[in-house]
Amino acid sequence: MDSKVVWQLSEEDLNEIQDLFERKIAIENLIKIVNLKDGDIYEKLIKDYGKITREFQQWWDIKSSQYKWEGTNWWVDFTKSQVLTRI
Amino acid sequence: MDERTYSVGKLAQNWKSEKAQTITFIVTNDCNLRCKYCYITHKSEDKIMDFSVAKNFIDYLLTFDNIKFSEAVILEFIGGEPFLEVELIDKICDYFKVAAYKLDHQWYWNYRISICTNGINYSSEAVQKFIAKNYNKMSLSITLDGTKEKHDLQRVFPDDRGSYDIISKNIDLWLKQFPGTTKVTFASDDLPMLKDSIISLWNLGVHTVNANVVFENVWKDGDDKILEEQLIALADHIFDNNLYDKDLICSFFDESIGYPYDEKDLNATYCGAGKMIGLSPEGNIYPCLRYYAHSLNNHEEWPIGNIKEGIDMEMVRPFMLASNRLQSDQECINCEVATGCAFCQGFNYDEAKTPTNFYRAKYICKMHKARVRANNYYFAKLFNKYNLKRPEINRHRKELYFLLSEDYENYCSFNNKNSLRSFMSIDTILKGLKFAYHNFYNPVFVHSKSEFSFENIKDYESYDILHIVPAKFLDKAVDCGLKRILPVYDLNSLSYKDPNYENVILNIAASEIEQLYDSVKILLTRTSRININIIDLDKQFDELEYRRQMLKIKDLILGIEKSQGIFKEVSLLTDVLFINSHDNCKAGHKTFVLSPNEKLYTCCAIYSNEAKSSIGNINDGISVDYDARLYEIENSNLCRLCDAYQCKNCIYTNKVSTKEVNVSPSFQCRKSHVERLVSSEILNELNQISKFKLNIDKKIAELGYQDPIAAFFNINNESHGYYKYEKK
């Protein structure tokens, strides 16, 4: 798969998306091990998951529009602070 | 975005590096391999962590409020072989995740699970299930040593069978799941396989290779040479195949290593022991797993607490106070290439005569030096072939000035009056470069004043050379491919336009001082910085005129800053704003001279005026005891009490005027204090310019004298006899 760098993220932007990503994955992995029987925690998890998913998507919507990124279906290379797209 | 860079020479970024607390669970002392270089010398099958031990530890960490929490955490699982206990690890991770979430602890999402495995059971159902469950929250590396020959030499089963064939079956699966990162260790026997091993790993798709040599006392005579040759051969392979920018990493090449320590380094330490936390199967807590009994041979283990009583912070204090300054002996502290020289505090502790942490085992010394040489070779070629520079690090490396001709250009305050066009031979230059390379001198070529006939041969490509070139020959210098050039101007060459060098030298005679301002004004239109040399300084120096000129230059600098927002530097006035120690020529201490006839001198003036006073030659090195200590700034009773740090303190002027290299004549001191005074005015005015953003944290105190001998008299109350100095 060929990719193209469309943006070099600032430290602030990188930290934002990295934290959102970490939160989202953490909850997804928690959902794998917490089951319905765990009542309160399960409910909180589902609520938190909805919230983080919205925030995650919002970040992409805002930044892609703000910086006018080329293409679609972007992803971040956290080691290089780069936003990439498929070509 | 398209800026060219290099990957070989940079290190892999660790997840949340400085922000994450590492917590190590030693889940078992057992291992299915018996690697010959392994530091865990006391493996055992029966020491396996009980889940309750890990659970109590996690509860303690998440709830005890006397621990300073970092914002992120790395849960590291280690053995022996950690995946022998994958079900236990899985249970511990699940417990951690839920417990942290229940407590709404930041670590519930800001964590990484980190495992380094030998890869034997990587494809097992249990390991794969664990990986799937913790997707995107794990760093996982398999230790693969390179070629099958190299790997099987060290990484063997208890019956001495090599493990390569079994592990290599799991590599494709691993590389589909994780970025290829591995850790390779080299000992004496396998050094000749280093180059092939790294290339083999890269070819396999393992793009990040963290490599090191063992710290133990295993190194034989000549091993350093083998390491150096292997790394140079690897560097050549990288260049021959254009691999330097292909996202490959080999940590043997590191842009930050090979510099002397500065104050910050001396107060820091190389190793993270005491910043990490290790838990043993028995429930004891350690500053790092290397203080646990399974890897200690001479001293008792060093726990800092246990799961029942928690961490005893008193026991952690020695680790907080560990520093290179106290762990190293004078040889290491004063080493010219100290940075990047690795050590393990746990191993040091075990090797120390008494059970102390303030000790450093030095078996690795010659191997580190070999690595630095190979790094210098790699980065020189990277610069010369591809114009890619490693970051400038502001440390004083030693320099060797090659006087390429008897009529070499003036590059300091000494006026070379020799007009003989007698050039250094290519053979001598190459010998000098080899000498500089082996002894860690940065080579500086000082070209002829009157003729540019320099032949830039391919052999020079392996060295990062600074060329000091008269301005009138700049075109020729560029045409013959010289890269790092420091142009030299004087009153006769100011009209030579150059392609805007960042930094230039301006030579001006003391007798021409009334033309200083005009000369600076011309040059500042096309450069960012001027290094001024006042040539032929003597008792007759016109201090008043000098002050007038310097004040005009001050106004010029401030005017440019106010009107353009650009801070131009003029060495004798602005350097003192940025430095806190003397920046003199360092002749005889850090800088030396190689003459066309292959002899070594403390400085060019000594060569040109006292040719018999050489301190050695290119074949034998510095072989004459020239009382080197007197050339160190700390051993001058004037300079050590003086903060006119921009002063060049010419040791030849000192010697000619006072007979001692470390005693400056008053006219040189007074000249520097004129500069210091004008610098303090620059500082005061800069502080009033609101848009000035250089963030200078500097104060220049008002003194009641211009000659720092007064400072010495202040601390030495004995009679001064008949000596009289001018106070103002």
Q: Could you report the per-residue pLDDT of A51-85, keeping only the tens digit for each?
A: 999 999 999 999 999 999 998 899 999 988 999 99
Return d(Cα B98, Cα B554) in angstroms, integer: 65
Return d(Cα B610, Cα B624) in angstroms, integer: 15
Confidence class of residue B1 from pLDDT cuts 50, 70 and 90?
very low
Beta strand spans in B287-436 (E): 305-306, 310-311, 398-403
Q: What is the pLDDT of residues B347-394, one digit of tens each?
A: 999 999 999 999 999 999 999 999 999 999 999 999 999 999 999 888
For the residues B688-706, what does the mean pLDDT come to? 75
Q: Is B109 on the interface with A (CB under 8 A)?
A: yes
For the residues B494-516, what does the mean pLDDT come to? 91
CB B536 within 8 A of CB B410: no
Q: What is the pLDDT of residues B178-196, one digit of tens each?
A: 999 999 999 999 999 999 9
For the residues B303-330, what does the mean pLDDT come to? 95
Q: Give which of A4, A14, A22 to mutate to test B binding, by max B Cβ within 10 Å.
A: A22
Q: Give me the sheet containing A75-77, strands edge to edge.
A: A3-8, A82-86, A75-77
Residue B441 φ then ψ, to 5°: -100, 140
- How many residues are listed for chain B in this entry? 728
Provide the whole-model pTM: 0.92
Q: Is A26 on the interface with B (CB under 8 A)?
A: yes
Q: How far is CA B310 from its chain centroid?
A: 38
Return d(Cα B607, Cα B601) in angstroms, integer: 6
Return the closest-CA partner of residue B464 out of B405, B392, B408, B367. Answer: B392
So what's the pLDDT on residue B717? Answer: 77
So what's the pLDDT on residue B395? Answer: 83
Measure CB to CB from residue A22 to each of B13, B110, B135 and give the nearest one: B110
CB B57 within 8 A of CB B279: yes
pLDDT of B697 > 80? The answer is no
Return d(Cα A61, Cα A66) in angstroms, integer: 9
Mean of all residue pLDDT scores within chain B:
94
For the residues B88-115, what does the mean pLDDT come to? 96
So what's the pLDDT on residue A72? Answer: 87
For the residues B695-701, what does the mean pLDDT come to? 79
So what's the pLDDT on residue B695? Answer: 67
Q: Is B103 on the interface with A (CB under 8 A)?
A: no
Distances from the Cα of B434 to the Cα of B123, B320, B588, B618, angstroms? 50, 42, 20, 9
Q: Do A29 and B102 touch (CB under 8 A)?
A: no
Provide DSSP, B261-291. Answer: --HHHHHS-S--TTTSEEE-TTSEEESSGGG
Chain A residues whose beta carbon lies within 8 Å of the beta carbon of residue B1: 5, 7-8
Backbone angle region of B440, left / alpha / beta, with phi > 0 → left and psi within -120 to 50 → alpha:
left
Q: Give me the sheet containing B310-311, strands edge to edge.
A: B138-142, B111-117, B72-78, B20-26, B277-279, B284-286, B305-306, B310-311
pLDDT of B529 > 60? The answer is yes
Could you give the dihedral angle defined by the CA atoms of residues B450, B455, B459 and B463, in that order, rounded to the nearest 10 degrees? 30
Query: Could you list the residue range(s) of the whole structural domain that residue A66 is in?
Result: 3-86
Return d(Cα B610, Cα B587) in angstroms, integer: 15
Q: What is the pLDDT of residues B22-79, one digit of tens each?
A: 999 999 999 999 999 888 888 888 899 999 999 999 999 999 877 777 999 999 999 8
Q: Give which of B103, B109, B178, B248 to mutate to test A binding, by max A Cβ within 10 Å.
A: B109
* Shortest alpha-carbon distance between residue B241 and chain A (Å): 22
Helix (H, G, I), strand (E, B) or coil at B40: coil
Question: Alpha helix (H) ranges present in A9-84?
Answer: 11-33, 39-67
Return d(Cα B23, Cα B45) in angstroms, integer: 23
Chain B residues whose beta carbon lies within 8 Å of the beta carbon of residue A67: none
Chain B residues whose beta carbon lies within 8 Å of the beta carbon of residue A35: none
Provide DSSP, B102-130. Answer: HTT-GGGTSEEEEEEE--TTTTSHHHHHH
Return d(Cα B457, Cα B143) in angstroms, integer: 43
Please give the CATH topology (third level) of the domain spanning B10-142+272-321: TIM Barrel (3.20.20)
Question: Looking at chain A, which residue has its C-alpha nearest residue B113?
Answer: A26
Measure CB to CB from residue A25 to each of B98, B102, B136 and give the nearest one: B136
Q: How many CB atoms lie within 10 A of CB B240?
A: 8
Beta strand B249-250 pairing with B208-213: parallel
Measure CB to CB from residue A30 to each of B13, B101, B135 and give the nearest one: B101
Chain B residues whose beta carbon lies within 8 Å of the beta carbon of residue A69: none
Distances from the Cα of A66 to the Cα of A14, A17, A62, angstroms? 15, 15, 6
Question: Alpha helix (H) ranges present in B291-364?
Answer: 313-320, 324-327, 330-333, 345-351
Confidence class of residue B267 from pLDDT cuts 50, 70 and 90?
very high
Measure CB to CB from residue A26 to each of B12, B102, B137 and give the nearest one: B137
* Shortest alpha-carbon distance between residue A6 and chain B (Å): 8
Count up the domains in chain A and report the number: 1
Query: What burial class does residue B681 get, using C-beta atoms within 10 Å of its C-beta: 0-12 exposed, 13-18 middle, 19+ buried?
Result: middle
Measure CB to CB from residue B133 to each of A5, A27, A29 and give the nearest one: A29
Crossing angle (nearest 10°) for helices B125-133 and B86-102: 20
Return d(Cα B363, Cα A48) in angstroms, integer: 54
Beta strand spans in B203-314 (E): 208-213, 249-250, 277-279, 284-286, 305-306, 310-311
Q: Is A62 on the interface with B (CB under 8 A)?
A: no
How does DSSP classify residue B32? S
CB B58 within 8 A of CB B93: no
Least confident of B245-249, B428-432, B494-498: B494-498
Chain A residues whose beta carbon lies within 8 Å of the beta carbon of residue B111: 26
So what's the pLDDT on residue B41? Answer: 86
The secondary structure element, H or E, covering residue B91 is helix B86-102
The β-bridge partners of B279 are B25, B285
Measure CB to CB from residue B102 to each of A5, A8, A41 and give the nearest one: A41
- How many residues are listed for chain A in this entry? 87
Q: What is the end-to-end Cα distance of chain B in Å, rounded?
A: 57
Question: Looking at chain B, which residue has its C-alpha nearest residue A33?
Answer: B94
Chain A residues whose beta carbon lies within 8 Å of the beta carbon of residue B134: 29
* Shortest alpha-carbon distance between residue A80 and chain B (Å): 9
Return d(Cα B197, Cα B184) in angstroms, integer: 9
Query: What burial class does residue B350 get, using C-beta atoms within 10 Å of its C-beta: 0-12 exposed, 13-18 middle, 19+ buried?
Result: buried
The secondary structure element, H or E, covering residue B386 is helix B365-386
Q: Do B136 and A19 touch (CB under 8 A)?
A: no
Return d(Cα B33, Cα B22) in angstroms, integer: 25
Q: What is the pLDDT of residues B446-484, one digit of tens each?
A: 999 999 999 999 999 999 999 999 999 999 999 999 999
Chain A residues whose beta carbon lies within 8 Å of the beta carbon of residue B133: 29, 32-33
Confidence class of residue B728 from pLDDT cuts 50, 70 and 90?
low
Q: Is A31 on the interface with B (CB under 8 A)?
A: no
Chain B residues whose beta carbon lies within 8 Å of the beta carbon of residue A32: 133
CB B402 within 8 A of CB B598: no
B479 HSE (CA, 13 A, CB side): 7
Q: What is the pLDDT of residues B225-236, one digit of tens each?
A: 999 999 999 999
Return d(Cα B80, Cα B48) in angstroms, integer: 10
Return d(Cα B632, Cα B649) in angstroms, integer: 11
Query: What burial class does residue A9 get, using C-beta atoms within 10 Å of its C-beta: 0-12 exposed, 13-18 middle, 19+ buried?
Result: buried
CB B471 within 8 A of CB B488: yes
Between residues B92 and A72, the one the model is more confident about: B92
Return the closest-CA partner of residue B534 out of B674, B382, B414. Answer: B414
Backbone angle region of B299, left / alpha / beta, with phi > 0 → left and psi within -120 to 50 → alpha:
beta
Return d(Cα B141, Cα B157) in angstroms, integer: 19
Helix-then-strand count for chain B, H and E: 22, 22
Q: What is the end-to-end Cα distance of chain A in Å, rounded?
A: 8
Measure CB to CB from residue B94 to each of A19, A25, A33 and give the nearest one: A33
Q: Do A30 and B97 touch (CB under 8 A)?
A: yes
CB B443 within 8 A of CB B433: yes
So what's the pLDDT on residue B416? Answer: 97
Chain B residues whose beta carbon lies within 8 Å of the beta carbon of residue A85: none
Share of chain B above pLDDT 90, in %: 84
For the residues B642-669, what does the mean pLDDT come to? 95
Q: Is B139 on the interface with A (CB under 8 A)?
A: no
CB B642 within 8 A of CB B668: no
Share of chain B above pLDDT 70, in %: 98
Chain B residues whose beta carbon lies within 8 Å of the beta carbon of residue A45: 101
Backbone angle region of B452, left / alpha / beta, with phi > 0 → left and psi within -120 to 50 → alpha:
beta
Q: Is B417 on the interface with A (CB under 8 A)?
A: no
Chain A residues whose beta carbon lies within 8 Å of the beta carbon of residue B97: 26, 29-30, 33
For the residues B694-712, what does the mean pLDDT come to? 83
CB B569 within 8 A of CB B632: no
Return d(Cα B209, Cα B218) in angstroms, integer: 23
For the residues B546-563, what does the mean pLDDT come to? 96
Helix (H, G, I), strand (E, B) or coil at B337: coil
Question: Alpha helix (H) ranges present in B468-602?
Answer: 474-479, 516-524, 543-564, 571-578
Return d(Cα B520, Cα B119) in angstroms, integer: 65
